[in-house]
Amino acid sequence: MTRGKRSADAIVIGGGLHGCATALHLKRSGLDTIVVEKDYVGRHASSANAGGVRRLGRALPEIPLAVAALASWHRIGELVDDDCGFAVSCQMKVAETESELEALRDRRETLLSLGFEHEEIIDQEQLRGLLPAIAPHCVGGMVVHGDGHANPFLTVQAFKRKALALGVRILESAPVESVQKQDEIWQVQSAQGHLQAPILVNCAGAWGGRIAAMLGEHAPVESEALMLMITERLKPFVTPVVGAQGRMLSFKQFDNGTVLIGGGHQGRAEPDSNRTHLDFRELATSATTAAILFPRLRGVQLVRCWGGIEGQLPDGIPVIGASAVEGAYHAFGFCGHGFALGPIVGRIIADLIVAGESDLPIGAFDIGRFSSPTAA
């Protein structure tokens, strides 16, 4: 595309999974849409995460969205003409002590009171049936059947391809420099020229708070660098995706035998320079956790480790919904739990724009929760 003024029905700021999904759904609804991305599509958290597709352990306000998103994942090929590497496998959370198991039971009772039955408690024998390689001291856990995982890189590229095929325009290497509203039209100045549209969607991830500030809204986003590592190829020994109640752990084995280890250990993010710095002490702690729960990992070679820049909000849940400024919408702040929600969040934002409402409960995600009398 050439420089100069470009007009559309909607401008989406941010070319990660949520931005591409939003653009795709908007275009399917008949809106001419431009995505403007400061780097390249999927540069940050969208391609650097663990790829979990889970309902297990969700924050309570996210559960209806996670349930709806899972249904979308089971039909992902219909949406983007690609399976995105999605595979069904149960998700588990292991308890190492009776007190941890009791905490999981309490969690299940809370969900049952809200009408959700997907999280099930398992005893030690059932745990060993699902995880024969688990350490002997583990006493039970929680399992959700029907969840799974997908390939983050393949997924974001599939959404990009489908959006382009539908006619979405995508500008890469185009950081947004300013956003202003004039005569009901958003004026967006980017490094690749001027854009204008009556609808603006902020899907800027760790930079979402900065875009919100351009609209006069407050969202205290902290940039984080969640780290992951992958092992050499091993003989198959685990099928579920595994977490732990008392430790930070996300653990899965791929079809090629490699094992992905994560769970929330952080490096240091530099959003202004696009850099993440790994903390090898934290990585060592993560590796040790995996080896404690799966003793056969002791002595296994680690092949690669990395971290992506993600945006975290103080209450641990994202911003999703309409801005207080008419014609603007937000979807950002998904640190550590946004990948699975991508397909459904895109639909939610498109529904808000086209129909004025969503069929899913999103009140808890309103950006107004961070407002104060001083901020206002």
| Structural Rg of the chain based on CA atoms | 21
φ, ψ for residue 98, nearest 5 deg: -65, -35
User: Looking at residues 247-265, what average pLDDT do you find?
Assistant: 92
Both tokens of residue 289?
């956790």
Query: Do 90 and 130 contact (CB within 8 A), yes or no?
Result: yes
pLDDT tens digits, 143-172: 999 999 999 999 999 999 999 999 999 999
Both tokens of residue 285?
């702690």
Angle at alpha carbon of residue 52, lines to 49 and 53, rounded to 5°: 135
The pLDDT value recorded for residue 4 is 52
**Sign of the alpha-carbon torsion through 280, 290, 155, 364:** negative
Query: Do 190 and 57 contact (CB within 8 A), yes or no?
Result: no
What is the spatial distance between Cα 181 and Cα 200, in angstroms, rounded to a whole number? 10
φ, ψ for residue 30, nearest 5 deg: 100, 10
Q: State the architecture of 90-145+222-312 in CATH terms.
A: 2-Layer Sandwich (3.30)
Q: Of residues 51 and 157, which shows the higher confidence score?
A: 157
Query: Do 372 and 314 contact (CB within 8 A), yes or no?
Result: no
What is the spatial distance between Cα 220 and Cα 222, in angstroms, rounded to a whole number? 7
What is the spatial distance between Cα 188 and Cα 27, in angstroms, rounded to a whole number? 20
Q: State the architecture of 6-50+153-221+315-370 in CATH terms.
A: 3-Layer(bba) Sandwich (3.50)
User: Looking at residues 52-57, what average pLDDT do you find?
Assistant: 94
pTM (two decimals) = 0.93
The pLDDT value recorded for residue 1 is 38
The pLDDT value recorded for residue 51 is 87
pLDDT tens digits, 98-112: 999 999 999 999 999
The pLDDT value recorded for residue 5 is 63
Domain positions in the chain: 6-50+153-221+315-370, 90-145+222-312
What is the spatial distance between Cα 201 and Cα 15, in angstroms, rounded to a whole number? 11
Closest of 117, 27, 57 to residue 340, by C-alpha:
57
pLDDT tens digits, 298-343: 999 999 999 989 999 999 999 999 999 999 999 999 987 899 999 9
